Structure 1
Amino acid sequence: MYSSKISGLGYYVPENVVTNEDLSKVMDTNDEWITERTGIKERRHILPGDGNSTSVMGVKAAKIAIERAGLTKDDIDLIVFATLSPDMYFPGGGVEVQEMMDMKTIPALDIRNQCSGFVYGISVADQFVKTGMYRHVLLIGSENHSGGLDMTTRGRGVSVIFGDGAGAAVISRNETGKGGILSTHLHSEGKHKNELALQGPSTRYWVPEIMQDDPQDDIPYYPYMNGQFVFKHAVVRFSEVIAEGLQANDLSVDDINMLIPHQANLRIAQFIQKKFGLDDNRVYNNIQKYGNTTAASIPIALTEAWETGKINSGDLVVLAAFGSGFTWGSAIIRWV
């Protein structure tokens, strides 16, 4: 068995900045209301005609990650693409990345685990590298939320939260055999699947319902979130899966150098930080300027933390996510 490590990181966000004040012009909301509930001040949205899409942003982030890993596209053995917002219903974004980057006929695997997609993707990539099947796996988390949000007062509880962007990591064989990705821990609880969901368009609410002259008002074409219910479950599951990862590696909270939680809501992250007694230098949040970018949130935050020197060789880095499904997970990494 080999061990794996993160050998390269990159991210991309659209240039178009949407502030809370901008949103107040199209729905009944304001900066104070959004900031108090979410901690978000601004987010990025794709603009029509700017050339971006979920897959295009993923490619932009991937190219940076591959270059920083000291590799070329021809060194990549597998693409793992995590998103809830693919360019097409099918096929998924992984094959689009393979085509856009003119890669060899390597396999492409798509993951549909929403907010925990990147952590699930790390687990998948880690296993492929550990078994020796692949040496370098390109993992991408990318989301284009803005085109599918209800940008009216009716949808404000969800629409003010989400932003667009992409992050990528190259997971490589750790030749030193020391450190790297120590373990990953994954869970799900499907009985709560409807508490945070987009039920249509889908095979439940397919083309005939969409195309009829008198569309049914009760078909849920926009995301739904039971905010308080999700919040209460998130803080519990975050805590559990972080503790699980530490225990599995005979580590304690004192060993954590950097916790990067999925950027769902700043209030959730602050609750977890307080519960574990972590100071501000040991937790990284950037939801204030990007909003919730779902599968992209952890790799964007991880890349920023690394770029700014907040993560260094030998540091214990903990990633944790919770989201729709419900699904949640953590990854424990000794940085190399």
Structure 2
Amino acid sequence: MFHSKITGLGFYVPPNVVTNDDLSKTIDTNDAWIQERTGIQERRHIIKGEDTTTTMGVKAAEIAIERAGVAKEDIDFVVFATLSPDYYFPGPGVLVQRDLGLRTVGALDVRNQCSGFIYALSVADQYIKTGMYKNILVIGSEVHSTGLDMTTRGRSVSVIFGDGAGAAVLSREEDLTKGILSTHLHSEGVHAEELSLKAPGMGGRWVTDILADNDPDDESYYPYMNGQFVFKNAVVRFSEVINEGLIANNLTVSDIDMLIPHQANLRISQFIQGKFKLNDDQVFNNIQKYGNTTAASIPIALTEAWEQGKIKEGDTLVLAAFGSGFTWASAIIKW
């Protein structure tokens, strides 16, 4: 029996900074309106032709692999979490295997949106715990900007999301007091349509329908979010899944050294921080700079927190996420 340990972290965001004031030039909004509702000040958008979900994932992965001190030949498996793949198929996992020049290792794509990175982390953790693999590359990467309704009609969603990628290398750890202690995964599909993108899709609005209709009022190919309903569910599920992880490991809130929540909305993170009575040094947020990068948000935040010295050896770390599906998840890690 082994544990898995994060041995390398990396992230990449496009250099193109888009401020709230930039958005106000094409959308009826303003900096105060956006910050009051989301806490976001700016986000990154790709420059078309320069970055994709895969290329950003590759750039983050190269940093993580170097920091892990392993060679690319040592990577045994790839798990790639995203809702925005370069192609409808194949998924980006195989593109990363190709572009990094890895051996012909397995590549798995995870489609669990905002919870995607923790789901991917959990899958990788099980493979290492059972002894099947020794070093697994886990990536979360998203390009939202090319699929958003960048008009006033879509402002409640479009101002929230940004582009970016984060990556981690998980390696075998024989000391069972270290590494990932447990992961906890949940879903509630009855609310699937409350945060969704229905087209294109084999069971709904397909590309040929959209092209044939050429209907400017067709919103089915833009993301939809029932914001208040999502918020109400998020704060409940965040709390539940964090407590579930603590109880599973005989820990209490006082044992948390660092909570890194999915960067969905700063108001959600602040609500959870207040509910658990955590101080500012115990919670890491960077949504102010990057917006909501869905599956990339936790690995980006985790990397930044580590780079800034906010995570130290021996710390108890909690990762938690909630998002479309609905899905929610947590991971308890002894650093």
Same fold (TM over 0.5): yes
Instruction: Sort the Cα spacing of 1:235 and 1:212 in 2 relative to 1 into closer, same or farther, 3 A.
Output: same
Q: Within 5 Å, which residues of 2 pair with 1:48-67?
A: 48-49=48-49, 51-67=50-66
Shift of residue 179, structure 1, vs aligned partner: 1.4
CA distance in structure 1 between the aligned counterparts of 2:99 and 2:66, rounded to whole angstroms = 16
3-state SS, counterpart of residue 331 of structure 2: strand
Shift of residue 48, structure 1, vs aligned partner: 2.0
Q: Within 5 Å, which residues of 2 pair with 1:221-300?
A: 221-300=221-300
CA distance in structure 1 between the aligned counterparts of 2:216 and 2:14, rounded to whole angstroms = 34
Instruction: Sort the Cα spacing of 1:13 and 1:214 in 2 relative to 1 into closer, same or farther, 3 A.
Output: closer
Shift of residue 210, structure 1, vs aligned partner: 2.0
Contact 1:209-1:216 within 8 A present in 2 as well = no
Q: Within 5 Å, which residues of 2 pair with 1:160-199?
A: 160-199=159-198
Q: What's the C-alpha RMSD, in Å, of the aligned pairs? A: 0.9
Q: Which amino acid aligns with 1:109?
A: L
3-state SS, counterpart of residue 167 of structure 1: strand
3-state SS, counterpart of residue 199 of structure 2: coil
3-state SS, counterpart of residue 246 of structure 1: helix
Q: Within 5 Å, which residues of 2 pair with 1:103-122?
A: 103-122=102-121
Q: Which amino acid aligns with 1:113?
A: N
What is the number of residues matched between the two proteins? 334
CA distance in structure 1 between the aligned counterparts of 2:208 and 2:10, rounded to whole angstroms = 41
Contact 2:199-2:207 within 8 A present in 1 as well = no
CA distance in structure 2 between the aligned counterparts of 1:312 and 1:3, rounded to whole angstroms = 18
Q: Which string of whole-angstrom CA distances, capped at 9 and with x for unpartnered residues, describes residues 173-202 of structure 1? A: 013333110000000000000000000011
Shift of residue 301, structure 1, vs aligned partner: 0.2
CA distance in structure 2 between the aligned counterparts of 1:33 and 1:72, rounded to whole angstroms = 47
Tell me what 1:12 maps to: 12
Q: Within 5 Å, which residues of 2 pair with 1:136-155?
A: 136-155=135-154
Q: Which amino acid aligns with 1:73?
A: K
CA distance in structure 2 between the aligned counterparts of 1:261 and 1:73, rounded to whole angstroms = 30
Large movers: runs of 4+ above 3 Å: 213-219
Shift of residue 172, structure 1, vs aligned partner: 0.8
Tell me what 1:210 maps to: 210
CA distance in structure 2 between the aligned counterparts of 1:125 and 1:266, rounded to whole angstroms = 29
Tell me what 2:72 maps to: 73
3-state SS, counterpart of residue 6 of structure 2: strand
3-state SS, counterpart of residue 212 of structure 1: helix
After TM superposition, the structure 1 stretch with the greater mean CA deviation from structure 2, 135-144 or 167-176, is 167-176
Q: Which amino acid aligns with 2:87?
A: M
Tell me what 2:126 maps to: 127
Shift of residue 205, structure 1, vs aligned partner: 1.2
Q: Which amino acid aligns with 1:326?
A: F
3-state SS, counterpart of residue 9 of structure 2: strand
Q: Which string of whole-angstrom CA distances, capped at 9 and with x for unpartnered residues, describes residues 216-269 of structure 1? A: 844501000000000000000000000000000000000000000000000000
3-state SS, counterpart of residue 91 of structure 1: coil
Shift of residue 206, structure 1, vs aligned partner: 1.3
Instruction: Sort the Cα spacing of 1:216 and 1:150 in 2 relative to 1 into closer, same or farther, 3 A.
Output: closer
Report the TM-score, using the length of structure 1 for normalisation: 0.98
3-state SS, counterpart of residue 155 of structure 1: helix
